[in-house]
Structure 1
Amino acid sequence: MEDDGRAAEPEKRGLRRELLASRRESTPDERARASAALTAHALALPELAGARTVAAYVSVGTEPATTALLEALRLRGTRVLLPALLPDDDLDWGAYTGPGSLAAVRHGGRMELSEPTGARLGPDAVVSADVVLLPGLAVDARGMRLGRGGGSYDRVLARLEHAGARTALVVLLYDTEVVARVPAEAHDRPVHAVVTPSGVRRFARP
């Protein structure tokens, strides 16, 4: 059952501040080791092994690094889609064909993002993915994910639900970001698994 939406958003903001501060306190070496372990666990996922198309993302800042994972998937022959942020915060998609297929894009005063340089495939392209790898800041025992608050991936999840897609939803996090409870609102949707440096945890799939 969802929490009261009026109460959830202030709770989310406070939890985001705590989690982002914790990430900033970690060292580059700690993050590199964690990201390497996380990548190994992710590549062993049966869902990724059997996927023809994976929608992923390019990590930024102190997020668990995804660059090695993206390249490993590409070398396997997996079609990898990466997002491009639209002015309304929705996501368009383009194909990842190697490190040279990315360009740095700054959206106003926000952080710089690496986005695909090739043809745009449209926001609905994500519906073709067998697996969607999601960024986040936390996940709880129900599989409820805490994002950064921009709403981009809420739209992705709503689009998948509307299409009736049976896409596997996997969030990539550090170990300490699997928490007891994430405040949830009516529009929030659970993920199916979380990958951390320690391994994989799965959640009941409806």
Structure 2
Amino acid sequence: MTAREDSPARSAPDALREDKRALRRRLLDARKARSDDDRAAATAALTRHVLALAEGVDGPVCCYLPVGPEPGAAGSGTSTVADALLAAGHEVLAPVVPAEPGPLDWTRYEGADSLVTGPLGVREPGGERLGVEAITRAGLVLVPALAVDGRGRRIGRGGGYYDRTLPAVPASTPLAVLLHDDELIDHVPAGDLDVTVAQVILPTRGAVAVRNNH
């Protein structure tokens, strides 16, 4: 027998984890390789699209706080998408990662000066916690991801916090993922508990509908 034939077959959960891990590593490496100018241009374009999408929404905007190479992060001459929404007069709710695995808590974002280092080392607003149910009154929810495919399946960083949070979002609430143009891909490995999305926002194309089977 060959070494491949001798080795035990991968279980479906193990295979899914390995496929996600490999894709996640490739996507993270690609983001790190982007130039500062490319990131700044992407953020500027994404900000314009998000502000257009948020115009006239009823309720706050739930918006993750991008860091490093994430789409929407601050760059040379640009502010974050969250700061742009705040400057446009929107109430912005930012996620707070719980100490134990579970749905995200939320608090009002009032600018970069309001951020403190949370218990997990993540920068987060230091204001009053509004509870996990705060997302249910949002007029727009912006979700982080490394990639999304044409069926609306998204891959994040692996913590699972948004997959535990998004089922509470009313079906009528727009839910969108900010991506670089090449991060809308052909296939994202996903399991039954992975929540799909219906829309992505790309720098060159703006809001793009993707098929959502959930």
TM-score (norm 1): 0.86
| Percent identity of paired positions between Structure 1 and Structure 2 | 43
Picking from 169, 182, 194, the partner of 1:176 is 182
Long gaps (5+) in structure 2: 1-11, 74-78
Structure with more contact order per residue of length (Cα contacts < 8 Å, sep ≥ 6): 1
Task: State whether residues 5 and 186 of structure 1, in contact with CA within 8 Å, keep that contact through their aligned partners in structure 2.
Answer: no
Number of equivalent positions: 194
Are residues 1:133 and 2:142 paired?
Answer: yes
Amino acid at match of 2:146: L
Q: What are the within-5 Å matches in structure 2 for residues 133-152 of structure 1?
A: 133-152=142-161
Q: Does 1:83 align with 2:95?
A: yes
1:65 aligns to what SS in structure 2? coil
State the Cα deviation string for residues 7-41 of structure 1 (Å, max 9, x = none): 32211110000000111111222111111111112
Letter in 2 for 1:118: G
Name 2:201's counterpart in structure 1.
195
- Contact 2:72–2:178 at 8 Å: present in 1 too? no
Q: Counterparts of 1:72 and 1:23 in 2: how far apart (Å)?
A: 22
Question: How far apart are residue 84 of structure 1 and its match?
Answer: 1.2
Q: Distance in 1 between matches of 2:36 and 2:42?
A: 10
Q: Distance in 2 between matches of 1:75 and 1:65?
A: 15
What is the Cα deviation at residue 77 of structure 1? Answer: 2.6
What is the distance in 2 between the residues matched to 1:23 and 1:33?
Answer: 14
SS in structure 2 at match of 1:44: helix
Query: Residue 158 of structure 1: CA displacement?
Result: 2.4
- Check whether the contact 1:5–1:184 (CA below 8 A) recurs between aligned residues: no
* Unaligned segments of structure 1, at least 5 residues: none
Counterparts of 2:44 and 2:124, CA distance in 1: 22
Q: Please report the TM-score for the alignment, with normalisation by the length of structure 2.
A: 0.83
Return the offset for 1:116: 1.0
How big is each residue's C-alpha offset from its partner over 1:88-120, in whole Å with a ceiling of 9 and x where there is no partner? 13321100123322223361xxxx532111101
**What is residue 105 of structure 1 aligned with on the other side?**
118
- Residue 191 of structure 1: CA displacement? 0.9
Which of 54, 62, 68 is matched with 2:69 structurally? 62
Runs of 4+ residues deviating >6 angstroms: none
CA gap of 1:152–1:201, structure 2 versus 1, over 3 A, is same
Deviation at 1:6, TM superposition (A): 4.6
Q: Which amino acid in the other structure matches residue 95 of structure 1?
A: R
Measure the CA separation in 1 of the matches of 2:61 and 2:48.
Answer: 16
* Paired AA for residue 68 in structure 2: G
CA–CA distance in structure 2, aligned partners of residues 203 and 177 of structure 1: 13
**Matching residue's letter, 2:47:** T
Which sits farther off after the overlay, 190-199 or 139-148?
190-199
Q: CA RMSD in A?
A: 1.9
The CA distance in 2 between the partners of 1:71 and 1:148, in whole Å, is: 23
2:24 is the counterpart of 1:11? no
Deviation at residue 203 of structure 1 after TM alignment = 2.2
Tell me if structure 2 keeps the 8 A contact 1:127–1:165.
no
CA contact (8 A) 2:46 2:202 kept: yes
Distance in 2, Cα, partners of 1:170 & 1:159: 15
